[in-house]
């Protein structure tokens, strides 16, 4: 069975560097990695003369409607042979293949052995494209009663195999980069760590603090604390009261009944287009997030709040945060609010500005430049590898 094709093949100009991006799902499927890869492709094309094609190789599929901005293929079978055959048949067409590694997207238990086998075989091809892997996630963890606990060794095996077969590596968290360096033996500079950019836009000019209404934004998904949405809304409402916020905007979150204290208006939004989310975030002063503070580098939700310059109250077990964030520097840790002085309006505005400055170091343009540099530093492959490098 041949790979299905969707898109405009004529858009692949010979003057551009051609790459293939492999990911679980492509737009219009609702998928953070799909949106990330598509926006990255736009920035690589517009700013660096690098043209992308896409190969959807995940466990689910949403067919694009009509013509697509980039050529899109669907892998006919999730097998090592199917992937090797697809790339080998186009070895002279693509200078590099970018694999977006999110294990659960390629196998329901996050153990895509077929993908690890294919990546290792591809590394041994002669005159093959260069192989770059972006690790959006690593292995899962959980209690001894969970499948994640028992499958973790296999998940690590898959990740290590893919990492060792790759010519270059990147990820979105320093903690992930440390693990990749350890298992591959590569020096620090050979594994790039750069947090993700916003999938909901990044306004060039933000409205002044005084022009924003005293409102707080809250995403109704991405709750890593194990709490219910009702509990998270109650926490956000409590912080609204402490910061004299009059309106709480809930983006997404289903239709379950929710209540807030008198004097606070809860505005519930269902699904919103990215442009509508951006407009809403620009209208607010603050945000509360229940996303794991230890994983902000991989969070497009946190990236969106940062890109829009909001003063963000974050959860977490401790006020010390990774990836360049810090309580009182660019975010507000909830423990400091519960046990100390409330930042005034001027301090909150400064924190929002500092968070935006943190974001600008890994904006879409910065990520695209990093990818383009990394791709162009890779040497052409003329000889197959006889053994894995690690």
Segments in the chain below pLDDT 70: 1, 8-14, 142-146, 148-149, 188, 317-320, 339, 382-389
Measured CA angle at 298 (ends 150, 130), to 5 deg: 85
Q: Show Cβ contacts of residue 24 under 8 Å, excluding neighbours closer than 6 positions.
A: 31, 33, 34, 56, 57, 58, 59, 60, 100, 102, 105, 106
DSSP letter (8 states) at residue 351: H
Quote the tokens at residue 323. 């990836």
DSSP letter (8 states) at residue 326: B
Compute CA 94 distance to the chain's CA centroid, rounded to the nearest angstrom.
24
Count of Cβ atoms closer than 10 Å to residue 152 Cβ: 18
- Say if CB 219 and CB 187 are below 8 A apart: no
- Give the pLDDT score at 9: 47
- Give the pLDDT score at 386: 57
Q: What is the dihedral of CA 312, 35, 49, 367, to 10 degrees?
A: 30
Instruction: In the chain, count H helices and then E strands.
Output: 12, 14
Instruction: Characterize the bridge pairing of strands 4-6 and 72-74.
Output: antiparallel
Q: Note if the bond before 77 is cis, omega within 30 degrees.
A: no
| Residue 276 to residue 356: CA distance in whole angstroms | 19
- Give the pLDDT score at 335: 86
Kindly calculate the radius of gyration of the chain based on its CA atoms and give it in whole angstroms.
Answer: 22
- Give the pLDDT score at 10: 41
Compute CA 29 distance to the chain's CA centroid, rounded to the nearest angstrom.
15
Measured CA angle at 183 (ends 177, 187), to 5 deg: 60
Q: Show Cβ contacts of residue 165 under 8 Å, excluding neighbours closer than 6 positions.
A: 116, 119, 120, 122, 123, 131, 385, 388
Topology (CATH level 3) of domain 209-361: Rossmann fold (3.40.50)
| Residue 93 to residue 314: CA distance in whole angstroms | 46
Beta strands of the chain (E only): which ranges?
4-6, 17-23, 50-56, 72-74, 96-101, 130-135, 168-171, 191-193, 215-219, 247-251, 265-269, 286-289, 311-314, 332-333
Q: Which part of the chain is CATH 3.40.50.2000? A: 4-194+366-377, 209-361
3-state helix, strand, coil in the chain (%, to 5): 40, 15, 45
| Residue 32 to residue 21: CA distance in whole angstroms | 15
- Give the pLDDT score at 49: 97
| Residue 24 to residue 81: CA distance in whole angstroms | 17
Cβ-count burial 92-131 (b if 16+ within 10 Å, e if not): eebbbbbbbbbbbbbbeebbbebbbbbbbbbbebeebbbb
Q: Show Cβ contacts of residue 328 under 8 Å, excluding neighbours closer than 6 positions.
A: 336, 351
- Give the pLDDT score at 338: 76
Give the right CATH number for 4-194+366-377 from 3.10.129.10, 3.40.50.2000, 1.10.3720.10, 3.40.228.10.
3.40.50.2000
Could you give the angle at which helices 32-48 and 300-307 cross, rounded to 10 degrees? 50
SS3 16: coil
């Amino acid at each position: 069975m041949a790979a299905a094709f969707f898109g405009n093949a004529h858009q692949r100009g010979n003057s551009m560097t051609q790459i293939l991006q492999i990911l679980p799902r492509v737009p219009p499927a609702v998928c953070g990695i799909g949106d990330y890869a598509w926006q990255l492709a736009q920035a690589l094309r517009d700013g660096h003369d690098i043209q992308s094609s896409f190969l959807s190789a995940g466990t689910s599929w949403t067919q694009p409607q009509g013509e697509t901005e980039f050529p899109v293929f669907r892998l006919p079978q999730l097998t090592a042979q199917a992937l090797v055959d697809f790339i080998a048949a186009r070895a002279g067409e693509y200078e590099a293949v970018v694999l977006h590694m999110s294990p659960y997207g390629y196998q329901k238990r996050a153990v895509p052995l077929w993908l690890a086998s294919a990546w290792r075989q591809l590394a041994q091809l002669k005159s093959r494209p260069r192989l770059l892997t972006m690790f959006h996630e690593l292995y899962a963890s959980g209690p001894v009663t969970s499948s994640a606990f028992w499958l973790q060794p296999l998940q690590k095996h898959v990740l290590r195999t893919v990492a060792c077969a790759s010519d270059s590596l990147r990820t979105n968290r320093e903690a992930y980069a440390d693990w990749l360096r350890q298992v591959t033996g590569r020096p620090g500079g050979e594994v790039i760590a750069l947090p993700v950019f916003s999938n909901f836009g990044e306004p060039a000019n933000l409205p002044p603090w005084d022009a924003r209404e005293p409102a707080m934004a809250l995403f109704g998904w991405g709750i890593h604390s194990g709490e219910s949405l009702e509990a998270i809304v109650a926490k956000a409402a409590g912080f609204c009261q402490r910061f004299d916020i009059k309106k709480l905007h809930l983006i997404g979150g289903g239709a379950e009944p929710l209540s807030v204290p008198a004097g606070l208006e809860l505005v519930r939004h269902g699904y919103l287009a990215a442009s509508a989310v951006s407009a809403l975030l620009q209208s607010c002063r603050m945000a509360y997030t229940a996303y794991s503070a230890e994983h902000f580098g991989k969070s497009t939700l946190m990236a969106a709040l940062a890109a829009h310059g909001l003063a963000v109250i974050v959860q977490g077990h401790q006020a010390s945060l990774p990836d360049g964030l810090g309580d009182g520097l660019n975010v507000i840790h909830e423990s400091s609010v519960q046990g100390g002085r409330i930042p005034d309006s001027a301090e909150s505005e400064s924190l929002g500005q500092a968070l935006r400055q943190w974001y600008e170091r890994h904006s879409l343009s910065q990520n695209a430049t990093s990818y383009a540099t990394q791709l162009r530093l890779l040497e052409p492959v003329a000889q197959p590898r006889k053994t894995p490098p690690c």
